[in-house]
Structure 1
Amino acid sequence: MIKYNLKCKNNHNFDVWFSESSNFEKQNKKNLIFCPKCNSTKIEKSIMAPNIGSKKQSYTNTLKTEKIYEKIIKNFRKHVEKNFEYVGDKFADEARAIHYGEKEEREIYGETSVEEAVDLIEEGVNVSPIPGVDPKLKN
């Protein structure tokens, strides 16, 4: 895995991991990388220093970090499921209707394609991907 320090057009810095260096370029070219603070898709690499450590230390740190992120994502997902309305694959239509005042404003979540999400953002609809498991795939 390769860790990149990224910066959006609004100067928000954030870290992202990629399995290959070419994945950043491919995903960034398609506007698939979003700033977690402002949802901007105008992203560039920031200056960073390499982190070189022993394999054991690196593996242990990675496991600890993964557990922390898993807990954060799980808690975030629970919050969304408890407080937002699930609209399934109608997400894009519902988000647009709310944005344009055709439906009552409320917090929603659901599924949509990456292309549709990019279209929503370009229209000014405030959307953000939610990390975690697809509700249809939960046990």
Structure 2
Amino acid sequence: MINFSLHCPQDHQFDAWFKSAAAFDEQQARGIVTCPVCGSSEIGKALMAPALSRAHSDKHAVSAGHPDQARIQEMLRALRQKVTSEADYVGDRFAEEARKIHFEEAEARGIYGEATREEVVAMVEEGIEFMPLPDLPEDRN
């Protein structure tokens, strides 16, 4: 699964999950990806920068005060723990290693690491499937 940040010509922005980058392209070509606000089917991908570090953050938790917030955060911690315990950490070589796996130049395996904004954009454009690790509150301490 891959999550895309999307937008329409009216500059409405929203996220959507797809099985793959190819699935998004196929659904978009059929006109079934539509803006939830205005219904436009002229949808584009917005630039995304998953799991990038910043000196300061302008992110805000959207689930603050939600009754299931603690349970959801615990599930995200468990997901992150599973990935980091079962995948290979490749550090800042993430984009390079993901490309090798995608183009079958390296054995398929789970990896995690860091990527620059430019590397993330390039991987999305190349159809390389990946997803960011969950950002947890303790990461901001």
Identity %: 30
Q: TM-score, normalised by structure 1?
A: 0.54
SS at match of 2:74: helix
Structure with greater proportional helix content: 1
**Which residue is equivalent to 1:35?**
16
**Which residue is equivalent to 1:85?**
88
SS at match of 1:130: coil
Larger radius of gyration: 1
Confirm or deny: 8 A CA contact 2:5 2:15 kept in the other structure: no
Deviation at 1:63, TM superposition (A): 4.1
**Which residue is equivalent to 1:97?**
100
Give the letter aligned to residue 104 of structure 1.
Answer: E
Give the letter aligned to residue 46 of structure 1.
Answer: P
Q: Which of 116, 129, 134 lines up with 2:132 in the alignment?
A: 129
Structure 2 residue runs without a partner (length 5+): 38-63
Confirm or deny: 8 A CA contact 2:98 2:128 kept in the other structure: yes
Matches of 1:119 and 1:7 in 2, distance apart?
A: 15
CA-atom RMSD in angstroms: 3.6
Number of aligned residues: 98
Question: CA deviation digits over 1:77-111, x for unaligned, max 9?
Answer: 01101111111111000001111122111111111
Structure 1 residue runs without a partner (length 5+): 1-5, 9-24, 48-60
Structure 1 residues 34 and 125: alpha-carbon distance in aligned structure 2, compared to 1, 3 A threshold: farther
